[in-house]
Amino acid sequence: MTKPPVFTPEEIARFRAELATRRAPGAHEPGRWSVSPLNRRTDVVGSLPRTVRLRDATLRSVETLPGVVAPPEAKEAFLRRLVGSGVPEVVTAGLGGRDATALKAEVELVKGENPDCRIVCPLMRSPDDIDRAAAAGYDAVQVWVQGFGETSLVYQPPVYGRAWRGEEWRTPDTPRDRAAVLARAVRLVEHARARGLDVIVPLLMVSYATEETHEESVTVLAAAGARELTLFDGPGAMSPEAYEHLVRRTKALAPEVEVGLHPHNTFGLAVGCAVAAVRAGATAVELSVNGYCGGPGNADLAATALAFEALYGVHTGIRTERLTELARAGEELTGYHPSWNHPVTGTHAFCWGGMDLITQETEIDPLLHNCLEPALVGNVREVPFTPDSGPYTLTDKLTALGVELAHAQVDDVLDRARELMAREGRLLTDADLATLAREVR
């Protein structure tokens, strides 16, 4: 079935020539992406590094999702896919409920898939926790440090267990000020360093940090041997500009220590916060598949990776063609399904409807409305048949179904299809279109 040409070859050549004048190398990579050249100009976006590390914390984050009770084998299968996607670092779930055999098996799984993938154990609360992580073979541990003084007691799990049992939890060692909170963290950092572990220190609730409390925390923890200070914004209350400021402040106070961030997505700005922080000197972004986490969620792995790669030309090492498959695996693991238009990996992230002017533009250039090529991230273009669809879109749909009709028959099917949609108040499936095509033959 041949579609009547709309434009001559000469017109198409001129269209493509005009498009070429609006694009620039790097910002336009045929078959990959076509983004604004402004994104690659340092006078517009500032200077960004050549690479950035994306640290995936999905396995820890899903522990905060209500109702997720995935069996160990499901988590193992997901972890294989995750490491296979090229993420350079993985934060696992905490130690709770897992013995030495399970911990070692997890480390061996990661290293078996990619020996260069760094595996990080979170939530170190005692020297015994650190010893267990070291014995299992983890590369690094996270010593979480609450952002308050005495108010940090609100976030100590043992307080609640002892209070419930009627036991007195207040002891002479109970931290009552910021200095005591930091002193406890220093002991853990030093113990982890003595065990040969890299130490990442998440500074929690950084949206509450003052210049004075932040300076004290950075100075003390850097001196203790922290390899990275990670700015955790649990409430998601930090703007990209605030993150940028805090990263620069941290770098000025401890230039020898790496700075990371863990943004939350309260205002839909988690990826923007990541970009701003990296521009300011952060080297690691902690995130998760599909943005999984409690509350508003984390920065999404796929969206963050493609923002860095396509918009700014910052290398992440992620195998982007596996991202959609990984997103679907996350859905299977958790039962939580992101929206249809979720960035990059949504089921309809590359669907602009079924109007002829939209469906036929891909024959001129496939990167006009889709600034990313779907195959780059393992996704596909979706072309629905809608009341706005015309004969060109219908012809493409029928050809894909292996149906050949004459020009007049296509018009007949189009009329019948519009009548059916109006009568039943729904869009038509491929099977519906095939049935209508048989009726006009």
**Residues contacting residue 149 through CB under 8 Å, at least 6 positions apart:** 175, 176, 177, 178, 179, 180, 181
pLDDT at 173: 85
Written as one string, the DSSP assignment of 239-265 is: -HHHHHHHHHHHHHH-TTSEEEEE-B-
Output the pLDDT for position 67. 86
Are both 204 and 312 inside the same structural domain? yes
Residue 138 lies in a domain: yes
Task: Tell me the C-alpha distance between 338 and 79, whole Å.
Answer: 19
Pair (397, 278) in one structural domain = no
Whether residue 328 sits in one domain with residue 397: no
Query: Does the residue 426 lie in any domain?
Result: yes
Burial of residue 152 (CB within 10 Å: 0-12, 13-18, 19+) is buried
Residue 156 confidence (pLDDT) above 80: yes
Number of domains in the chain: 2
Integer Cα distance of 8 and 90 in angstroms: 53
The reported pLDDT for the residue numbered 417 is: 95
Residues 135 and 216 in one domain: yes
Residue 124 lies in a domain: yes
Q: Are 326 and 415 within one domain? A: no
Distance CA 238, CA 374 (A): 32
Q: How does pLDDT run across 6-43, given as a tens digit for each residue? A: 999 999 999 999 999 999 999 999 999 999 999 999 99
Domain boundary (302, 334, 366) is at 334
Residue 10 domain flag: no
Tell whether 21 is covered by a domain: no
CATH code of the domain covering residue 144: 3.20.20.70
Do both 143 and 212 map to the same domain?
yes
pLDDT at 64 over 90: no
What's the average model confidence in pLDDT over 218-239? 97
Check whether residue 64 and residue 190 sit in a common domain: yes
Determine whether 330 is exposed, middle or buried from the number of CB atoms within 10 Å of its CB (0-12, 13-18, 19+): buried
Whether residue 64 sits in one domain with residue 202: yes
Residues whose CB falls within 8 Å of the CB of residue 361, separated by 6 or more in sequence, listed in order: 368, 369
DSSP 54-99: EEE-HHHHGGGSTT----HHHHHHHHHHHHHTT-SEEE---STT--
- Per-residue pLDDT for 171 more than 80? yes
Asked whether residue 280 falls in the same domain as residue 415, the answer is: no
| Residue where one domain finishes, among candidates 334, 359, 376 | 334
| pLDDT at 63 > cutoff 90 | no
Residue 366 lies in a domain: no
Among 334, 356, 375, where does a domain finish? 334
Exposure of 116 by Cβ count < 10 A (0-12 exposed, 13-18 middle, 19+ buried)?
Answer: exposed
In a domain, 339, yes or no: no
Is residue 329 domain-shared with residue 396, that is, in the same domain? no
82 pLDDT band, cuts 50/70/90, is: very high
Q: Pick from 253, 312, 254: which is nearest to 278 by CA?
A: 312
Q: Which domain holds residue 426?
A: 391-440
Residue 53 within a domain: yes
**pLDDT tens digits, 315-357:** 999 999 999 999 999 999 999 999 999 999 999 999 999 999 9
Mean of pLDDT values over 118-122: 98
> Both 395 and 321 in a single domain?
no
**How much is the pTM?**
0.95
Of the chain, the end-to-end C-alpha distance in Å amounts to 14
Average pLDDT over residues 375-383: 96
Per-residue pLDDT tens for 236-276?
Answer: 999 999 999 999 999 999 999 999 999 999 999 999 999 99
Do 425 and 293 share a domain, yes or no? no
Query: What is the number of alpha carbons within 13 Å of residue 228 lying toward its C-beta?
Result: 25
Closest CA to 119 of 174, 33, 193, 197: 197
Q: pLDDT digit string (tens) for 394-403?
A: 999 999 999 9
Pair 193, 165: CB distance under 8 Å = no
